[in-house]
Amino acid sequence: MLLEIENLRASIEGKEILKGINLNIPSGEVHAIMGPNGSGKSTLSSIIAGKDGYDISGSIRLDGQEILDWEPEIRSRAGIFLAFQYPVELPGVGLSSFLRACVNERRKYLGEPELDASAFLALMREKAAMVELSQELIRRPVNQGFSGGEKKRNEIFQMAMLEPRMAILDETDSGLDIDALRIVAEGVNKLRHAQRSMLVITHYQRLLEYIIPDRVHVLMDGAIVMSGDRTLALTLEEKGYDWIRAEQEVSS
Amino acid sequence: MRSTEMMTKFPHLGQASDKHLTHEPPDFRHEDWKYTHFPQFQQYTIQLPSALSQGDRTSNSVPTIPLEDDTWIVVVKNGVIQPHLSQLPDPSSGISIRSLTEADVQHSEEPGLPFGALAMKHGHYFSQWAMAQHAAGLFIDVKKDVVAQKPLLIQTINEITEAKQVLPCHHVVRLAPHSSLTLSEILEGDGAGMSLAVYEIHVGIGANLKHNQLQLWANSQECIQQVLVAQERESQYAHFAYCSGGKKVRNQLTVSQEGQMAHTELTGLVLPGRNEHLDNQTLMRHISPNCSSRQRYRSLIGHEGTSVFNGKVYVDPDAQKTDAYQHHASLLMHESAVSNAKPELEIYADDVKCSHGATTGMLDAGEVHYMRSRGLSEIQARLMLQEAFVRDLLESLPVESLRSWCINHCVERLHDLNRLTD
């Protein structure tokens, strides 16, 4: 199992947001998490990536190793990647020098030699083309002056550069027009790999028409209340979340 | 009595001597000296260059900066030019560099000489005090139409061992019409004394002076400096300040645009660390029409460090079509860091464009987290953001070799400041 989440509970300022999440993602699979606003989707992704400020119990294991007490940078070097819902602008920090430092930290962690300038540049050109990110944007500071769509594409570009084991896409489709959605989804699909898993968090079924998930989970009020194959997303689109609430009441 | 002797040489200095005798140094009640004052200054004793060690030929006071071969160098140790360490311009270059007193004796009959007038008119208490002490220094004179073929570097090394000892200096730079010069200074040293320097700079019609000052004072040293600039019409003056340290440093830059179409660029980067207090004040005097000025200052302040920035822009009623811009940003590296920033705009003309801005803050936790989530350690992320905060200012340093040296120095300084902050 690539990622195992076991009875994960998280609260902030006394308010419980995640109420015992159990989720296993085998290597090579793409899982989607859907759920209404405020159900805890973004909290779950932030916690996997190592954001602090939460009281946490339970377990998150990457390739069998407990990562909950790891700093965010160690998780990243070990292969966790979170594509932010709201990518952060880094004023004055050049995208290529930033990424070169990041890529080399990951390589050092893996015991691989660092990339020299020309090898890095070649890799960057190749990956940028994959998400149709212009060379002009690469020369700019990270996300500074990028449009909403460019920022999201830049997240997928960074994911391509870092070649993570476990990629989490937090509402990567929000704020994207149809063309941008297609470019981002195609980029993600090119990154699908037997050694890489993905967790796609989304509000809308539409993204899952482009990125076909192996499993779909429904997160409501801090817990996964239903799991199924990709047809679950279609049913949700059709019937809405109230349908699940009704199902739950029947079963309880 | 030294000041009497001075009055015969510089009749206009009589006023200064009087001021010095009747006034006390400004204290915190004076708006310009609110954050930085020297309450014990009257107990300081003057160290004249002759009383201080001049080092020897084997001393390590040769510039440590890898300069391009094509640089004129003047090494001044404790107020005295070190000819054996210097490479002065050839007389045929049209640029002369002399000790100020020597120049003064040779040219005192010449009308319109630039010694003392600016300091008398706009000098603050300490500048006038230094003038009254007959402070010596350099006289750099660039002839009409001469475009300097090499940059000039002055390395000043002050080693005034005792606290409450002050070494006053008075430098004069004159660029005749349509001449041009890049003048860089490295100011450093050791000891616990104070360096007090007054600069009178005259930039003639259509002349262009790029003036870079790298202040690398030790954290035991004090410094008061005033750079007074008078710009004639169509002239350009650019000042770049890099202040990496000092116990208590007060830099004042007073620029008067005395003719039309003059342009001024003032840039500064200040990096105070623990128990260091670095104060930069500017007074941009727009007194002629159709002139412009750009001021960009940044302070990156370490644990228990203090930065002061006071930027004044004065626009005279006659100075229509003035285009003035000023910006100051502070980045506090720790909760104990202090930034006092005060923009002051005094505008008496009605057809002008004047803008200013000031920001103060700490690194954004969200930015640091984003970078960590991509694999950088917290310290790597901080350093990268701090470097980004200062880099474009450093890139504007005009001499290539000095620029790369300064960038490296700054990166090392940032490492030190972060170490202290932890």
Q: DSSP secondary structure string, B180-237?
A: EEEEEEEEEEEES-EEEEEEEEEE-TT-EEEEEEEEE--TT-EEEEEEEEEE-TT-EE
What is residue B112's predicted lDDT score, i.e. its pLDDT?
62
Please list, in sequence order, all residues whose beta carbon lies within 8 angstroms of the beta carbon of residue A119, skipping any fewer than 6 positions away.
none
Lowest mean pLDDT among B111-115, B240-244, B311-315: B111-115
CA distance B352 to chain A (A): 30
Over residues B104-121, the mean pLDDT reads 70
CA distance B237 to chain A (A): 27
Task: Examine the pLDDT at B61 and tell me if it is beyond 60.
Answer: no
Both tokens of B54, joined, read 């001049």
CA distances for A131 relative to A128, A138, B325, angstroms? 6, 12, 40
Question: Cβ contact (<8 Å) for B373 and A50?
Answer: yes
Q: How far apart are CA B259 and CA B286, in angstroms?
A: 9
What is residue B421's predicted lDDT score, i.e. its pLDDT?
59
What is residue B334's predicted lDDT score, i.e. its pLDDT?
93
- The model's confidence at residue B48, banded by pLDDT at 50, 70 and 90, is confident
Among all residues of chain B, which has the CA nearest to that of A104?
A: B375
Over residues B333-356, the mean pLDDT reads 95
Most confident of A177-186, B96-105, B204-213: B204-213
ipTM, 2 dp: 0.96
Task: Examine the pLDDT at B14 and tell me if it is beyond 90.
Answer: no
Contact of B219 with B249, CB cutoff 8 Å: no
Contact of B152 with B43, CB cutoff 8 Å: no
Task: Examine the pLDDT at B6 and tell me if it is beyond 70.
Answer: no
CA distance B209 to chain A (A): 29
Both tokens of B385, joined, read 């953001």
Both tokens of B322, joined, read 């003035």
What is residue B9's predicted lDDT score, i.e. its pLDDT?
39
What is residue B55's predicted lDDT score, i.e. its pLDDT?
60
What is residue B5's predicted lDDT score, i.e. its pLDDT?
39
Is any Cβ of chain B less than 8 angstroms from the Cβ of A20?
A: no
Both tokens of A171, joined, read 């509402």
Tallying the residues shown for chain A, one arrives at: 252
Q: How far apart are CA B321 and CA B76, in angstroms?
A: 42
In angstroms, how far is the first alpha carbon of chain A from the final one?
A: 31
Residue with structure tokens 């989804």?
A: A185
Task: Examine the pLDDT at B109 and tell me if it is beyond 90.
Answer: no
- The model's confidence at residue B21, banded by pLDDT at 50, 70 and 90, is very low
Written in H, E and C, the secondary structure of chain A is CCEEEEEEEEEECCEEEEEEEEEEECCCCEEEEECCCCCCHHHHHHHHHCCCCCEEEEEEEECCEECCCCCHHHHHHHCEEEECCCCCCCCCCEHHHHHHHHHHHHHHHCCCCCCCHHHHHHHHHHHHHHCCCCHHHHCCECCCCCCHHHHHHHHHHHHHHHCCCEEEEECCCCCCCHHHHHHHHHHHHHCCECCEEEEEECCCCCHHHHCCCCEEEEEECCEEEEEECCHHHHHHHHHCHHHHHHHHHHHC
Task: Examine the pLDDT at B58 and tell me if it is beyond 50.
Answer: no
Over residues B229-239, the mean pLDDT reads 98
- The model's confidence at residue B373, banded by pLDDT at 50, 70 and 90, is very high
Nearest to B384 among A88, A93, A109 (CB): A93
Residue A21's nearest CA partner among A227, A181, A212 is: A227
CA distance A212 to chain B (A): 26
Question: Cβ contact (<8 Å) for A92 and B388?
Answer: yes
Q: How many CA atoms lie within 13 A of B314 on its CB side?
A: 12
Task: Examine the pLDDT at B3 and tell me if it is beyond 90.
Answer: no
Q: B392 contacts in A (CB within 8 Å)?
A: 92
Among all residues of chain A, which has the CA nearest to that of B366?
A: A88
Handedness of CA A203, A209, A211, A216 (dihedral sign): positive
Residue with structure tokens 């009640």?
A: B29
Cβ pairs bridging A and B (under 8 Å): 75
The tens digit of pLDDT for each residue in B350-359 reads 999 999 999 9
What is residue A25's predicted lDDT score, i.e. its pLDDT?
97
Task: Examine the pLDDT at B4 and tell me if it is beyond 80.
Answer: no
Among all residues of chain A, which has the CA nearest to that of B364?
A: A90
Q: What is the DSSP string of B104-135?
A: HHHHTTSTT--SSHHHHHH--HHHHHHHHTT-
Question: Cβ contact (<8 Å) for B373 and A49?
Answer: yes
CATH number of A3-251: 3.40.50.300
Both tokens of B152, joined, read 């000039």
Contact of B260 with B288, CB cutoff 8 Å: yes
Among all residues of chain A, which has the CA nearest to that of B375?
A: A73
Residue with structure tokens 């990270």?
A: A142
Question: Cβ contact (<8 Å) for B373 and A158?
Answer: no
Which of B:361-390 have CB within 8 Å of A? Answer: 364, 366-367, 369-378, 380, 384-385, 388-389
Q: B391 contacts in A (CB within 8 Å)?
A: 92
The tens digit of pLDDT for each residue in B269-324 reads 999 999 999 999 999 999 999 999 999 999 999 999 999 999 999 999 999 999 99
Task: Examine the pLDDT at B226 and tell me if it is beyond 60.
Answer: yes
The tens digit of pLDDT for each residue in B141-192 reads 999 999 999 999 999 999 988 889 999 999 999 999 999 999 999 999 889 9
Please list, in sequence order, all residues whose beta carbon lies within 8 angstroms of the beta carbon of residue B99, skipping any fewer than 6 positions away.
B81, B136, B137, B138, B139
What is residue B134's predicted lDDT score, i.e. its pLDDT?
81
What is residue B19's predicted lDDT score, i.e. its pLDDT?
45
Q: How far apart are CA A174 and CA A155, in angstroms?
A: 13
Question: Cβ contact (<8 Å) for A77 and B384?
Answer: no
Question: Cβ contact (<8 Å) for B388 and A76?
Answer: no
Share of chain A above pLDDT 70, in %: 100
CA distance A37 to chain B (A): 22
For chain A, residues with pLDDT lower than 70 are 252
CA distance A186 to chain B (A): 22
- Domain edges within chain B: 2-364
- Domain edges within chain A: 3-251
Q: How far apart are CA B233 and CA B255, in angstroms?
A: 13
